[in-house]
A and B are shown apart, each in its own frame.
Chain A
Amino acid sequence: MHVLIILIEILVLFAVIMLHVAYATYFERKIIGHMQVRMGPMRIGWHGLLQPIADGIKSFFKEDIVPEQADVVTFRAAPIICLTAMLTSLAVLPFAKGWVLANINIGLLFLFAMSSLSSYGVILAGWASNSKYTFLGGLRSMAQVISYEVAMGLSLVGVMMLSGTLNLTKIVEVQGGSFGGMYIFPQIIAFFVFFIAMLAETNRVPFDLPEAETELVSGYATEYSGMRYAIFFMAEYIGMMVMASIGTICFLGGWNGPFEVTIFPPFWFVVKVYAFMFVFIWIRATLPRYRYDQLMTIGWKLLIPLALGNIVLTGFIKAFTG
């Protein structure tokens, strides 16, 4: 009986997330379109509202090409590893008070584990395709993700010191409902590091080097087509949402807002996540891409010392102010 309830919850969560993923692609195209004085998708449905559904149907019926040289089993497993890792990390996110699938007390650690796991999918995809572009894309992606993983992990230590827990629900509760209680204010350095690392972890502009289309065609996904490519795409967008959720929970006070929306408790959570998504898209429309050596320099020489300094600073301030 208990399992059945969990199963229903998972199905609902999955349906909602898939809908959000589909429409996140639509918002992205629409917002970038308008920022570049274009209209974005307009043909299918009113103002192109059915575009994501049409895209889904299209990729479902597209031919699935497995290259001759590819390592078939790994090639097939890679997108599923990516998607599963991202989906599983959704389980620990509290969308509102009590709206969480698995309220485990190592939530934050679990999220890091899962986001590391998804980079396996990427590197395996790059290796298994047996093509030069995918190989280089996979390597780059791995190096980028692990570099920024360190910065991200260290940046959140400050939040853990203030809240004294890894449980995501408790992190939100400790911040309280007030505006000044949000950890973005005492942890502004950590937020800065986290935000940049977040862009790099999700392979977004200006750090989208693994799939830099001007040099690596489509990076690790070059040899993928049809539904397999779509699964990579889904995983990427779920990843964006998960990262935005971590930012919301750890720095912006989670589901708390200026007033309570009793009909729909996660209202403020969704608003904050979409604010993050909008900034992602805004940055994509604005900034050019970094060079690879610049990317590694920022990660190792700027963000990691900053994050370590933040830990020391937080430690001192907490020790002397009590």
Chain B
Amino acid sequence: MEAQYIPKEYLAILILLIFGVLFGVVTLYVGRFFRISRPYHEKLIAYESGNEPTEAPRMRFSIKFYLIAILFVIFDVESIYLYPWAITYDHLGFFALVEMFIFIFLLLVGYIYAWKKEVLQWEK
């Protein structure tokens, strides 16, 4: 039963995925024969308000982005972990509720730590 169920529903998703990629590729490829193409050096340099680009564009960026990404991983895993608990909530009873509060509380400690360390503060 399960083995029959999965391919049937997910087949539509797979086909839509392939369709989406093909739409993008085919539109851009077919367009190649219709659109004008007159490239020259000045047109092809990176846009910088009409000036020559000064330094390398892939510059060093703020460490905050990295910290936000780390925090995202923690909290996203948390929310994914909450999903199965949430959908079976009715069957689990009071014990699971308390357990989950302990789980949320532990994460809250980390959250407060991040707050106090001013990770969430973009400017001081």
Contacts and interface: CB of A to CB of B under 8 A. Distances in A.
A104 B72 contact: no
Contacts of A217: 47, 49
Interface stretch (A19-27, A145-153, A239-247, A277-285): A145-153
A139 interface: yes
Interface in B68-111: 68-69, 71-72, 75-76, 79-80, 82-83, 86-90, 94, 97, 100-101, 104, 108, 111
Contact of A222 (B21, B47, B65, B68): B47
Given A227-B27, A228-B28, A103 B9 contact: yes
Contacts of B4: none
Given A88-B16, A88-B17, A300-B120, A69 B24 contact: no
Contacts of A154: 75, 79, 82
Given A91-B13, A318-B89, A166 B83 contact: yes
Which DSSP category, helix, strand, loop or mixed, fits chain A's interface?
helix
A110 B10 CA distance: 11
Contacts of A143: 64-65, 68-69
B82 to A, nearest CB: 5
Contacts of B37: 63-64
Contacts of B86: 157-158, 160-161, 311
Contact of B97 (A7, A133, A319): A319
Nearest to A101: B12
A134 B108 CA distance: 35
A134 to B, nearest CB: 8
A167 to B, nearest CB: 10
Contact of A227 (B12, B28, B79): B28
A6 interface: yes
Interface stretch (A40-48, A177-185, A248-256, A291-299): A291-299
Interface string B12-40: 11011101110111011001101111110
A163 B79 CA distance: 17
B19 A67 contact: no
B3 interface: no
A227 B28 CA distance: 7
Nearest to A296: B122
B52 interface: no
Contacts of B25: 80
B10 A104 contact: yes
A7 B28 contact: no
Contacts of B108: 308
Nearest to A105: B9
Contacts of B28: 64, 76, 227-228, 231
Given A10-B15, A312-B104, A164 B9 contact: no
A211 interface: no
A87 interface: yes
B57 A150 contact: no
Nearest to A152: B79
Nearest to A60: B31
Interface string A92-115: 100000000111100001100000
Contact of A83 (B24, B34, B57, B80): B24
A20 to B, nearest CB: 16
Given A64-B37, A90-B16, A6 B122 contact: no
B94 A319 contact: yes
16 contacts: A9-B12, A88-B17, A104-B13, A132-B46, A135-B59, A142-B65, A161-B89, A227-B28, A231-B24, A300-B71, A301-B120, A304-B75, A308-B108, A311-B86, A311-B104, A319-B94
Closest 7 CB pairs of A and B: A293-B122, A84-B20, A80-B24, A131-B46, A153-B79, A160-B86, A87-B20
